[in-house]
Structure 1
């Protein structure tokens, strides 16, 4: 058996699976400290379908802890950014495009040092270790607890980042260090930003992961704990401590993976309607389509791996305002206070959930409390939700070919059975907890994303080498060797680099290998 848990802004969902059979499913309110909500969710599963904790072989959790900490600018570690670029790359210092409140929240300090590579692999300048030691001394006196190291074109050659980390670690052994070539892609400022975010979250990551592990073990479960990544795969707790940014947008990803499993449709658009927002994404071969452009996170441009998701402010907790002719739904929401503020629960705020109950689409709370609502207002609100959802799906399509639509999430009761211009909507069994199911059935992945210099006649050998490395990484991360396969492969020549330079990205995925 496995337990899958997904922590959203409004609800914490949990499922107990035996293979792919759903034995129990619960939806509880997300608590302010989140971990107590996880405990309540596990208790809810036990109450619904009693199970022996010793029979649980793995627990998978998708969490919003880290993205929330960044958005809310709290619990972030004092962080320094070290850029290896001098004498080039000095015109735009680290964090130049960050919101001031986030720079203040991490007590952001930056250091420009010699080093880095040209696009063809030549050194911009040699690494100055004395310069790095001086910077480390200043960091120590300033109370820096986490360091982000970025070097120009480090995805081509990471030698300077690796050596700089060794120098700084020798001077500041207690400081956490994040390296940009392990996190972002080509594009210095965006890669550097992603690395600084990761560094600022490292301290919190250790605390949160320990808290999640305590929550699970407190329920008597001794099985290994995994966290969901934003590409639909899992990472173990040690990886999560080092790379907390990998959890960003894992919620929508879990929902999309769950939608594919529940509906049996692995190439489709998925509309996940939660309590606060609706996330629209596209699945290809059962995995989310990745964003190909820079992604803004809390107002910061980044280029690390993220799913291509369009979010709109419509969910079960969305506030409904206006009259029949000018009704609006969202974008603000009562969030986890839904059970206190919605009309059907005795509150005084008209929400999308109240509209669904008034329309007879849901039996939640006390329907008599919304019996007075104007029928035209109810219809207008539902039409507005349907129109916004249809527009979002249309924006995510990349061709005129028909794309099946699968609706999941507790709020998907707000959607009609057909979307104008899009077609029929599939709403599979257990749709309300698709996100937790997506977490529970997630697999283990390994990825290679690197620039290779391909000599004449060696293209096939280089491709095979990249694919094999991706397979090996998946197996090393815990995938069953017999189940691992390449699920995504890109090969893009880079004409401005010499030596037939080609960016190759290979992604391998396999089933989680669990001990008996």
Structure 2
């Protein structure tokens, strides 16, 4: 993670693997190197070798997807590769539906953080958009009621989902957690608590816990009928149907580890991270003239030598509207 290479890439073994994959008819592959969040070179070199042998294969590279944690990043990259065929089918189905309805408009997909990405970006990174309904509902509910901070209760047929919105954004898991198919990943997914419909005492306990961590925040309902919640929710609750009111912004996020000898070098690396995040937001469907950095944080990694920092950047922009689906 300091950027020091552990070993040179075994190009012959990589090529042999690609030939075996070709013989087996494999069309989607995941590439993951130990230090990729710091130095993606080995992944890019391996990808070039594989692409030369399997030119039609779809490659998922871990430095583009996961967090610095190796196992969670491996899991996320493999899931992303496995979901590629489903994502491609879904995009084509949606495009056919729009054309059959005579709708000529950009096709966007909601990501799990509540933002939007273009169809092409979704094709390449489907693992970031597997369960976006509740985060979108939460962001929409908070925006519709003018609440920057809120506890949102999203009711569905099979579960009642509760989460916090802090400064207009769904609160996220800080640690790795089960993602799609229960596989452990760390992709900044919102921290959602699920309650069985009708379990009023459990719902009251969840709302109390979330409310205690966000004093003074209103409880907002969105989703299905609210009657079952009126006995469990706090008296000051406000009920508002806002499932489809997701804020319409395209966004991209990255998390890297950088190694800098001093402040000047760190500033250069932070500027490069800003530029990378802005370009990712444009790739995700944002209009170039509207992109901006929403958040940038960096902190030393305590268990690594001095000068090694974890950098997280979020970029956002308004969707490009003149691109047909």
Give TM-score, length-normalised by structure 1.
Answer: 0.58
Match of 1:448 among 254, 261, 266: 254
Q: Distance in 1 between matches of 2:275 and 2:17?
A: 39
Q: Which moved more, 1:195-204 or 1:449-458?
A: 449-458
SS at match of 2:263: coil
Per the alignment, residue 301 of structure 1 pairs with 184
Per the alignment, residue 408 of structure 1 pairs with 222
Per the alignment, residue 302 of structure 2 pairs with 495
Per the alignment, residue 244 of structure 2 pairs with 436
Q: Distance in 2 between matches of 1:418 and 1:279?
A: 13
Task: Structure 1 unaligned segments of length 5 or more: list them.
Answer: 1-118, 315-328, 330-383
Per the alignment, residue 425 of structure 1 pairs with 237
Q: Distance in 2 between matches of 1:456 and 1:129?
A: 34
Per the alignment, residue 213 of structure 2 pairs with 399
Per the alignment, residue 120 of structure 2 pairs with 238
Q: Which moved more, 1:390-399 or 1:303-312?
A: 390-399
Task: Structure 2 unaligned segments of length 5 or more: list them.
Answer: none
Q: Distance in 2 between matches of 1:482 and 1:142?
A: 45
Given that 1:256 and 1:270 are in contact with CA atoms closer than 8 Å, whether structure 2 keeps it comes out as yes
SS at match of 1:424: coil
Deviation per residue, 1:479-500 (Å, 9 max, x gap)? 3456444333322211232341
Per the alignment, residue 103 of structure 2 pairs with 221
Given that 2:105 and 2:321 are in contact with CA atoms closer than 8 Å, whether structure 1 keeps it comes out as no
Given that 2:160 and 2:195 are in contact with CA atoms closer than 8 Å, whether structure 1 keeps it comes out as yes
The aligned length equals 321
Q: CA deviation at 1:505?
A: 0.9
Q: Which moved more, 1:470-479 or 1:145-154?
A: 470-479
Q: CA deviation at 1:308?
A: 1.5
Pairing of 1:214-363 with structure 2 (within 5 A): 214-297=96-179, 298-314=181-197, 329=198
CA distance 1:295–1:128, change in 2 (3 Å): same
CA distance 1:302–1:239, change in 2 (3 Å): same
Given that 2:148 and 2:166 are in contact with CA atoms closer than 8 Å, whether structure 1 keeps it comes out as yes
SS at match of 2:38: coil
Q: CA deviation at 1:462?
A: 4.4
Q: CA deviation at 1:198?
A: 1.0
CA distance 1:472–1:299, change in 2 (3 Å): closer
Given that 1:232 and 1:442 are in contact with CA atoms closer than 8 Å, whether structure 2 keeps it comes out as no
Deviation per residue, 1:222-264 (Å, 9 max, x gap)? 1111111111211111111111111122111111111012211
Instruction: Indicate the structure with greater strand content.
Output: 1
Deviation per residue, 1:403-446 (Å, 9 max, x gap)? 321110113332117735xx521112xx0xx22222xx420113
Pairing of 1:458-497 with structure 2 (within 5 A): 458=264, 459-460=266-267, 462-480=269-287, 483-497=290-304
CA distance 1:296–1:162, change in 2 (3 Å): same
Q: CA deviation at 1:309?
A: 1.3
Per the alignment, residue 3 of structure 2 pairs with 121
Q: CA deviation at 1:460?
A: 4.9
Provide the aligned C-alpha RMSD in A. 2.3
Which structure would you say has the larger RCO, counting Cα contacts within 8 Å and 6 or more residues apart? 2
CA distance 1:209–1:150, change in 2 (3 Å): same
Give TM-score, length-normalised by structure 2.
Answer: 0.90
Deviation per residue, 1:22-79 (Å, 9 max, x gap)? xxxxxxxxxxxxxxxxxxxxxxxxxxxxxxxxxxxxxxxxxxxxxxxxxxxxxxxxxx
SS at match of 1:205: helix
SS at match of 1:214: helix
SS at match of 2:237: strand
CA distance 1:166–1:472, change in 2 (3 Å): closer
SS at match of 1:435: coil
Q: Distance in 2 between matches of 1:461 and 1:173?
A: 35
Q: Distance in 2 between matches of 1:175 and 1:510?
A: 31
Deviation per residue, 1:276-333 (Å, 9 max, x gap)? 211111112211122111121323211223111122232xxxxxxxxxxxxxx4xxxx
1:162 aligns with 2:44: yes
Given that 1:132 and 1:167 are in contact with CA atoms closer than 8 Å, whether structure 2 keeps it comes out as yes
Q: Distance in 2 between matches of 1:477 and 1:301?
A: 25
Given that 1:148 and 1:196 are in contact with CA atoms closer than 8 Å, whether structure 2 keeps it comes out as yes
